[in-house]
Amino acid sequence: MKILVTGARGFVGARIMDEWNEAIPAPSLRGANEDAIRQLLDTVDPDVIIHTAAISDIPACEKNPDASYQANVEIPVWLAKTGVKLVAFSTDQVYSGCNDEGPYREEAAEPANLYARHKLEMERRTLEANPNTVLLRATWMYDMPIYRIANRGNFLVNMLRNKELSFSSTQHRAVTYVREVAYHIMEAASLPGGVYNYGSENEFTMMDTALWLKKTLSLPIMIHDAGLLHNLWMDCSRIKNNGIHFNSTLDGLRECMEDYGLCEISR
């Protein structure tokens, strides 16, 4: 099977390339138009596109809405219009304006920022263009840095690098080990078209999750209460019912720490 990965040098894309090393990295799609996308697809002729390229920084999207619209809506819609099976990343931020506490099922989306509004529009329009499209609403993901690959600020690295951090003692959201996201991606590619919450679940608040990590790794970090923050708590039953099972947030962190020998380092 020919797999084309966009954003192949990005945070998620690089891990997908590492897991599925026969996959083909797409050239950068920055500033691409519909013709360029069509030409790329004609040349590569993939069976599936794993689309990770995006502007995923919330303030960057607010600052430049046109760039966000092109990257986060138009490019994925052009990919969907080629008719090739598309697996595209969306975000748990689509739940940022929901009124109830959650956990949120896929039908409940109510975005409260521009990035999330663009992602939600992308979901709707890619499905209109190709009903076979799989949209994966991802949680905040983490990994340790990889040599010569850009790393994003993420929960684990932030906890390891900082002396003080704030997390909400009421906010429910999950964080997911990005290696699991990459590991399951071809199972995701065989899902029927539609929207899926895709990642770990978390029964603990972010404050309790951070305190657990602090204790487990004996980290010299002060954790403050960030006060009330909106929940981004996803119910992942739909992917589980389709046979895709992620670790819980704490088990995912344990697995990552084992992969990198972090528990031994902290002893």
Task: Say which residues have a Cβ less than 8 Å from residue 28's Cβ, sequence separation at least 6.
Answer: 53
Report the residue closest to ligand NAP, judged by CB.
Answer: 10
Q: Which is nearer to ligand NAP, 27 or 265 (CB)?
A: 27
Q: Cβ 17 to ligand NAP, closest distance in Å? A: 11
Q: Which is nearer to ligand NAP, 136 or 257 (CB)?
A: 136
Q: Which is nearer to ligand NAP, 260 or 266 (CB)?
A: 260
What is the token pair recorded at 209?
């999750």
Q: Cβ 160 to ligand NAP, closest distance in Å? A: 16
Helix (H) or strand (E) holding 138: strand 134-138
* Cα dihedral sign, 164-202-137-99: negative
Q: Cβ 155 to ligand NAP, closest distance in Å? A: 9
Residues that bind ligand NAP (CB under 6 A): 7, 9-13, 28-30, 52-56, 67, 71, 75, 89, 91, 138, 140-141, 152
Coil, helix or strand at residue 142? strand
Find out whether 46 and 91 touch, Cβ atoms under 8 Å. no
Round to whole Å and give the CA distance between 239 and 256.
22
Q: Which is nearer to ligand NAP, 77 or 218 (CB)?
A: 77
**Beta-strand pair 85-91/48-51:** parallel
Burial 135-152 (b: 16+ CB within 10 A, else e): bbbbbbbbbeeeeeeeeb
Q: Cβ 267 to ligand NAP, closest distance in Å? A: 29
Q: Which is nearer to ligand NAP, 33 or 265 (CB)?
A: 33
Q: Cβ 181 to ligand NAP, closest distance in Å? A: 8
